[in-house]
Amino acid sequence: MLKHRNILLFCISAIITLFALSFYFDVKWWSFLLVFAFWLAMTIFGSSNIKTGYFVKSYCDNPAEKELKIAISFDDGPHPMTEKVLDLLGQYNAKATFFCIGSQIEKHPDIFKRILDEGHVVGNHSYSHSNRFGFFSTQKVVDELKQTNAIIERLSSKKALYFRPPFGVTNPNIARAVAKTNHHVIGWNNRSLDTAIEDEAKILKRVKNRMAPGGIILLHDTSLKTVNVLEQLLLFLQSKKYQCVTIDALLNIPAYEN
């Protein structure tokens, strides 16, 4: 059972109990409000933290990994900057996973093909990456997933099974949509915040602090800043004897349908 259902059941039981108690005791009105506030806080926390698996099961690392293997993932491409990312990955013999936006693949089909030609893995990152994605209906999410899967299939003959929700936001509609489309939801356990933090050294430090075998790092192949961070990161990983693998190799979950 999903965690949000447990919390909802708990809150409903608490409200019923409080209501029953109010016949015998002086139950303060704000105790009901407190239960509601708890539910609201849990819902907001759960929907914005993919790792909690609050609404939908998501894969964020492989805690059983004993070898020095790690997966780097890039969101929001393909983008002209992806070319520099690919150059670096090739230079360090590192493999990565790219969660591509459908509308971006349409803009840069050649870059998209290069990602696959060089042995990396791709996943679905919605078609529009709309700021309102978290408010989309189940059908609208299904449509976006299918649209991007169709674009990927047209260019590569691959049926993508991985989906990373834009902004890592999950909710019941997204949970219902991926149940319909049979996508695996892929998160991360090492968020670089490379789109929010300006200082490259700070981003690198943050990633290093959160590094562990079996981890999934989140970066964005959309800025020169991240390319610079990536170069330092790959140097560091090489010095620590880490092997950069694709997410399907890390999790043993297929990225494409046969």
Closest distance between Zn ion and the C-beta of residue 117, in Å?
A: 23
Closest distance between Zn ion and the C-beta of residue 139, in Å?
A: 21
Residue among 99 and 242 whose Cβ is closer to Zn ion: 99
The amino acid at 52: T
The amino acid at 37: A
Q: 3-class SS at 75?
A: strand
Residue among 156 and 222 whose Cβ is closer to Zn ion: 222
Instruction: Tokens for 112, please give them.
Output: 């998209």
137 dihedral zone (left: phi>0; alpha: psi -120 to 50; beta): beta
Closest distance between Zn ion and the C-beta of residue 75, in Å?
A: 4
- Closest residue to bound Zn ion by CB: 75
Closest distance between Zn ion and the C-beta of residue 149, in Å?
A: 17
DSSP for 165-226 reads: -GGG---HHHHHHHHHHTPEEE--SEE--TTT---HHHHHHHHHHT--TTBEEEEETT-HHH
Closest alpha carbon to 193 in 213, 170, 171, 210: 210
Q: Residue 61 gets which letter from DSSP?
A: B
Residue among 49 and 243 whose Cβ is closer to Zn ion: 49
Q: 3-class SS at 101?
A: coil
Residue among 76 and 248 whose Cβ is closer to Zn ion: 76
Residues lying near Zn ion in the complex (CB under 5 A): 75-76, 166
Residue among 104 and 173 whose Cβ is closer to Zn ion: 104
Helix axes 109-117, 138-156, angle to 10 degrees: 70
Tokens 């509308």 -> residue: 103
Residue among 120 and 164 whose Cβ is closer to Zn ion: 164
Closest distance between Zn ion and the C-beta of residue 146, in Å?
A: 18
Closest distance between Zn ion and the C-beta of residue 258, in Å?
A: 27
